[in-house]
Homo-oligomer: A and B are copies of this chain.
Amino acid sequence: MNLRERKKRRTRDALLRAALELFATRGYEETTVDDIAAAVDVSQRTFFRYFAGKEETAFFVPRLAETLVVEALRTRPPGEVPLEALRRAVLESWDAINEAVEELVPIELHLRVYRVIESTPALLAAHLRRSAELEEQLACIIAEREGLDVNADPRPRIVVALFGGVIRVTERLWSAGDDISIDGMRELTTTYLDQVGPALAGNWHAEPSP
C-alpha cells in the first residue's frame, strides 16, 4: 500500500470517527460538516470528497454489516427452508460483523450512533430505505435458492418483509436496552422469530406469549 493510499485511508477513518463521535455526543442535526472537517483539520470540500454526504458517515458501519449478512445468506445450504436460511444467516454472521466493525470504530460508539439514528427523523428515514433495499436483495437470493421469479411469485418478498419487520423490532429493543453483547442480541432475535407462528395463528387469548 502506497504512502498516498495509507494517507487517504487515515484521513477517511479520522473523518468517520470524528463524525460518529460528534453525532453520539452532540447529536446529528447539531453537528455541521464544518465541525467534522475542522475536527480533522481538513477543508469542508475534502470531507465531501470522501463521503457523498453527512448521512453517509452515519451509515458506514451498518453498510458493512449488511454486506456480511448478504454474503452469509448466499452460502446457506439449499436444504434449508427460506425463513430458516434467513434466521441462520443473520445469527451466524454476527461474529464476523462484530470483528469487522471493531476494526473501524469501537462497538460501543456504534451503539451510541445507532441510538442517534433511531431518534433522528432524517436518519431513521434513511435507515428504513436502506433496509428496504437490503430486503430486496435478500428476496432475490431467496427466490434464486427456490428457483422462482421474484417478480412473478410474491412469496419471496413476503417472507423477507416479515423477517425484516421482526429484525427491525429487535434492533430497536437492542438499542433501547443496555445489553450490548452479541449473545443477548442473538437470544432476543430467536425469541422474536419464534413468535411469528403464534402471532399469525389468531386466537391470542388461548395461549398468551411467554
Query: Which residues of chain B come closer than 8 Å to A204, judged between CB atoms?
Result: 82, 146, 148, 155
**CB <8 Å contact, A83 and B200:** yes
Q: A190 at the A/B interface (Cβ < 8 Å)?
A: no
Q: A162 at the A/B interface (Cβ < 8 Å)?
A: yes
Q: A2 at the A/B interface (Cβ < 8 Å)?
A: no
Of B121, B168, B169, B200, which is within 8 A of A200 by CB? Answer: B200
Q: A5 at the A/B interface (Cβ < 8 Å)?
A: no
The interface size of chain A toward B, counting residues with CB under 8 Å, comes to 42
Q: How many copies does the complex hold?
A: 2
**A125-B202 Cα distance, complex, nearest whole Å:** 32
Of B124, B146, B153, B162, which is within 8 A of A129 by CB? Answer: B124
Query: Which residues of chain B come closer than 8 Å to A168, judged between CB atoms?
Result: 161
Known contacts A125-B129, A128-B125, A200-B162: does B154 contact A169 (CB below 8 Å)? yes
Query: Which residues of chain B come closer than 8 Å to A147, judged between CB atoms?
Result: 205
Q: Which chain A residues in 149-187 approach chain B with CB under 8 Å? A: 153-155, 157-159, 161-162, 164-166, 168-169
Q: A141 at the A/B interface (Cβ < 8 Å)?
A: no
Q: Which chain A residues in 193-210 approach chain B with CB under 8 Å? A: 195-200, 202-205, 208-209
Beta-carbon nearest neighbor of A84 in chain B: B202
Known contacts A128-B129, A129-B121, A129-B125: does B158 contact A196 (CB below 8 Å)? yes
Known contacts A154-B192, A204-B82, A209-B154: does B129 contact A199 (CB below 8 Å)? no
Could you list 16 A-B pairs, sorted by A, with CB under 8 Å? A82-B202, A83-B202, A146-B204, A146-B205, A154-B169, A155-B195, A155-B198, A155-B204, A155-B209, A157-B165, A158-B169, A158-B192, A159-B199, A161-B168, A161-B169, A164-B165
- Other A-B contacts than A158-B196, A158-B199, A162-B199, 17 sampled, CB-CB below 8 A, are A81-B203, A82-B204, A83-B202, A125-B125, A125-B129, A147-B205, A153-B208, A154-B191, A154-B192, A155-B198, A155-B199, A155-B209, A158-B192, A161-B162, A161-B168, A162-B196, A196-B200
